[in-house]
Chain A
Amino acid sequence: MPKLKTYIFVIIIFITSLSAFELCAQTVSSTELINNAKSYDGKTVGFTGEVIGDVMARGDFAWINVNDGYNAVGIWIEKKLSQEISYTGSFKTKGDKISVEGVFQRACPEHGGDFDIHAVALKKISSGRQTAEGLNISKRNFALILFGVLCLIIILSRLKRTSLKK
């Protein structure tokens, strides 16, 4: 009998985890979305990547663009959810890495045919940061040498011109 109970318990756990897996949105890459847009159209998907550019507030909502390393995808999100974002990717910053869950639209009727995801949930996976830019010494030295060469050429040509005038 205890064995039967164990089997039933295992089966219940298995079925529950399967349904939980079903409920959870399928995480996809941007390439997969672009190449199979029709099959994902209108489905709930998960998308993970770095927030890049500006958070563009539009009324109670906002547009963010999330890059997964291959392409960036526009995410339409409630403004309050977007407030969780502290860093967006640019030259001097590494943006927050987030995971969003939402409905994917191949040609969104609400947004003039945009290829977007209407997010219902956002989770920050890791926070972004300022990226320190140290001075590249070899570039500086090379620039100084070239500056010297340039000055030399200008001085020599001036000297030549003066001697020709004389």
Chain B
Amino acid sequence: MILKPTKEDIRNIGFYLGKIIVGLGLIMLIPLLIGLVACEINPALDFLIGAEIALVFGFILIKLCHTERDLSWMQGMIVVALSWLAATLLGAVPMYLSGHWNSFLDACFEAMSGFATTGLTLVQDLDHLSYAHNFWRHLGPFVGGQGIVIVALSLFLRASSGAFKLYVGEAREEKILPNIIHTARFIWLISLVYLVLGTIALGAAGIFVLGLKPVNALFHGACIFMAGFDTAGFSPQSQNILYYHSLLYECIIIIIMILGALNFNFHYQLWAGKFKEAVKNIESKAFFISIMLFFLVTSLGLEQAGIYPGLVSFFRKGFFQFISGHSTTGYMTIYAQQFIKEWGNLALAGLICSMALGGFICSTSGGVKMLRIGIIFKALFEDIKRLILPEKAIFFQRFHHVKDVLLDDKQVRSALLITLAYIILYAIGTLVGVFYGYPFLESLFESTSAAANVGFSCGITNAGMPDGLKLTYIFQMWAGRLEFMSIFTLAGFFVAAIRGKR
């Protein structure tokens, strides 16, 4: 029997949602400050309005739904799913006010794309966008990549079982430190340390090698780092990374993208000096094998197409795009249309597969994720081994992921279910694309890119595409980033609200 949600459920959800919205409003003060420093008056006003709307909504929810109760699993999942929608709607406000997005839907698309670390964009005349708005485009992925809820956890919430439920709801399964608030703060510490290092590296390259003006070099460095480490793929200029025309810059970005694709727990192990983890961990092994395998496929395709003569151009165009896709970043050193016009089917197949698989679990990257792929293949090999060995032989299936873990059917089932859910999500976007008249391969490419939070486009994503397709991609980005559970729970909540019994 399905039970109708109680008033207490709604109060709890509203209270925690309010806190997260207040957090979002406070984050909008950063681009507001940048607007003031850069003497951009109207953009600063856009962020003042955005922040005020968020704070008003947030405070009203907190006051109306004030509660001392802790969250249940169901409530925690719903808070997460709703906070991402709220962040999209509220984060879109300053964007829409700038006039660089054709409609509020386009601004919502951009906001969801940013928070979900996808990187698909509908911005108009990006090359004339203000520093404040451009910074917001890149700050979105930095906040969303670490987790919108993690921001609130680090700032406002006390350590409790409810906090852990919120953390899990945002597709984070691993507790790096025993206390969840400490884990959330550690994730921020890693990100901020890398932010400083990455900005210095890119900024120095910008000034001394690229020939950018110092202010622009540092601004671009910070933006490129935030969208690179958080595997979003936004860039301050319309040409994306092609704007910089620099091998060194691209090499630094490759390192940043790979760092972003790694599990935060994996970072913690490396920071703690446990370098053997890099060789032993099932995820790093799976990532390495996947890179070798799918880059071989992509390379064969590119070789067949004969479009990048010479090792350097093969590296800068072939490998860069490949690693950008596999880490689900979506940075590009070619134009969107070149994928379809020049790459050929085989190279695209290799790239689409790598995009679909994605990076590490508990990282900022999207896609199915390496831990699940590793577990599925481990289970497959162990089952084959079981068939070969004598029937009476007893053996344990185990894998190494930070520590040695016994492989059980529950883990395999969970990995397979999430993988299946991703495949269905990729298929839904493809079918909708085909329905709107786009060719199959292009629809598959764009759909995988949206659902795996990659951000590559082969040209479908533009302001003129049908609204139905925009909404589909928004849904895919949201579901892909949150890894389904909180969205299924939200759907269940609405069903219970309509059909449940008191």
Residue among B45, B46, B131, B247 with max Cβ neighbours from chain A (10 Å): B45
Give every chain A residue within 8 A of B161 (Cβ-Cβ): none
Q: How far is the CA of A136 from the CA of B97 in the complex (A)?
A: 11
Q: Is the CB of A143 within 8 A of B309?
A: no
Least CB distance from A32 to B in Å reads: 11
The B218-249 residues at the A interface (CB cut-off 8 A) are 237-239, 242-245, 247
A142 touches B312 (CB 8 A): no
Q: Which single residue of chain B is at the shortest CB-CB distance from A139?
A: B45
Q: Is the CB of B40 within 8 A of A133?
A: yes
> Taking the nearest CB of chain B, how far is it from the CB of A139, in angstroms?
4
Tell me if A165 is interfacial: C-beta within 8 Å of chain B: no
- Number of B residues, CB within 8 Å of A: 51
Q: Confirm or deny: A146 has a beta carbon within 8 angstroms of a beta carbon on chain B.
A: yes
B316 touches A37 (CB 8 A): no
Q: Is B427 an interface residue (CB 8 A)?
A: no
Chain A residues contacting B212 (CB-CB under 8 Å) are 54, 56
Q: Mark B437-480, 1 if CB is under 8 A from A, else 0.
A: 00000000000000000000000000000000000000000000
**Residue-wise interface mask of A (140-166) relative to B, using a CB-CB cutoff of 8 A (1 in contact, 0 not):** 101100110110011001001000000
B418 to chain A, nearest CB (A): 37
Given contacts A56-B212, A58-B211, A91-B40, contact A114 B130 (CB under 8 A): no
Q: A47-89 vs B: 1/0 string, CB under 8 Å?
A: 0000011111110001101010001101000000000000001
Is B238's CB under 8 angstroms from A150's CB?
no
A90 interface contact, C-beta 8 A: yes
Complex Cα distance, B310 from A111, in Å, reads: 11
Q: A107-B313, A113-B317 are in contact. Are A90 and B128 (CB under 8 A)?
A: yes
B55 at the interface (CB under 8 A from A): yes
Interface string of A26-52 (1 = CB under 8 A from B): 000000001101100000000000001
A153 close to B213 (CB less than 8 A): no
B307 interface residue (CB < 8 Å to A): yes
Q: When chains A and B are docked, how far (Å) is the Cα of A160 from the Cα of B335?
A: 58
Contact B56–A91 (Cβ < 8 Å): no
* Candidates B48, B55, B243, B341; contact of A143 at CB < 8 Å: B48
A30 to chain B, nearest CB (A): 8
Task: Determine the chain A residues whose CB is within 8 A of the CB of B55 once the complex forms.
Answer: 150
A-B contact pairs, 9 of them (CB 8 A): A106-B307, A107-B309, A107-B313, A114-B242, A115-B335, A142-B49, A150-B59, A153-B60, A153-B63
- Assembly CA distance A58 to B52 (angstroms): 45
A135 close to chain B: CB less than 8 A: yes
Say how far A124's CB is from chain B's closest CB, in angstroms.
18
A53–B316 alpha-carbon span in the complex (Å): 22
Contact with A along B353-384 (1 / 0, CB 8 A): 00000000000000000000000000000000
Most chain A CB atoms below 10 A, which of B243, B310, B315, B333: B243
| A2 contacts the other chain (CB 8 A) | no
Q: Which of B287-339 contact A (CB under 8 A)?
A: 307-310, 312-317, 333-335, 337-338
B residues within 8 A CB of A114? 242, 245, 316, 333
In the complex, which residues 102-138 of chain A have their Cβ closer than 8 Å to any Cβ of chain B? 106-109, 111-116, 133, 135-136
List 8 tightest A-B contacts by C-beta distance, closest first. Answer: A113-B313, A56-B211, A146-B52, A52-B127, A112-B316, A91-B130, A57-B211, A139-B45
Interface size on A (CB < 8 Å)? 47
A157 to B66, CA, bound (A): 11
Other A-B pairs, 11, CB within 8 Å; known A55-B211, A113-B312, A153-B56: A37-B342, A52-B238, A53-B243, A54-B212, A58-B211, A71-B239, A74-B239, A109-B313, A115-B334, A139-B45, A143-B49
B41 within 8 A of A: yes
List of B residues within 8 angstroms of A53 by Cβ: 127, 216, 237, 243
* Contact yes or no, A91 B128, CB < 8 A: yes
- State how many angstroms separate the Cβ of B340 from the closest Cβ of chain A: 10
Chain A residues near B210 (CB-CB < 8 A): 56
B131 contacts across to A, CB distance below 8 A = 91
| A72 and B245 contact, Cβ closer than 8 Å, known pairs A107-B313, A157-B63 | no
Chain B residues, CB < 8 A from A90: 127-128
When distances are taken between beta carbons in the complex, the residues of chain A under 8 Å from B414 are none
Q: Given A65-B237, A71-B239 in contact, is the A139-B313 Cβ separation under 8 Å?
A: no
Is B53 at the interface (CB under 8 A from chain A)?
Answer: yes
Partner of B49, one of A35, A57, A63, A146: A146
Given A89, A140, A160, which contacts B128 in the complex, CB threshold below 8 Å? A89
A108 to B309, CA, bound (A): 9
B167-197 interface code vs A (CB 8 A; 1 in, 0 out)? 0000000000000000000000000000000
A109 and B309 form a contact (CB under 8 A): yes
| Nearest-CB residue, chain A, relative to B59 | A153
Assess the B242–A74 pair: CB atoms within 8 A: yes
Q: Which residues 229-279 in B have Cβ within 8 Å of A in the complex?
A: 237-239, 242-245, 247
CA distance A135 to B42 in the complex (A): 6
B129 at the A interface (CB under 8 A): yes
Residue of A nearest to B318 (CB): A113
Residues of A within 8 A of B313 (CB): 107-109, 112-113
User: A149 contacts which chain B residues (CB < 8 A)?
Assistant: 52, 56
8 Å CB contacts to A: which residues of B41-84? Answer: 41-43, 45-46, 48-49, 52-53, 55-56, 59-60, 63
Residues on B with beta carbons closer than 8 Å to the beta carbon of A91: 40, 43, 128-131
CB of A139 within 8 A of CB of B42, answer: yes
Nearest-neighbor residue (CB-CB) of B341 within chain A: A35
List the B side residues contacting A89 at CB < 8 Å: 127-128
Contacts of B52 in A (CB 8 A): 143, 146-147, 149-150
Contact B243–A72 (Cβ < 8 Å): yes
**Judging by beta carbons under 8 Å apart, are B245 and A63 in contact?**
yes
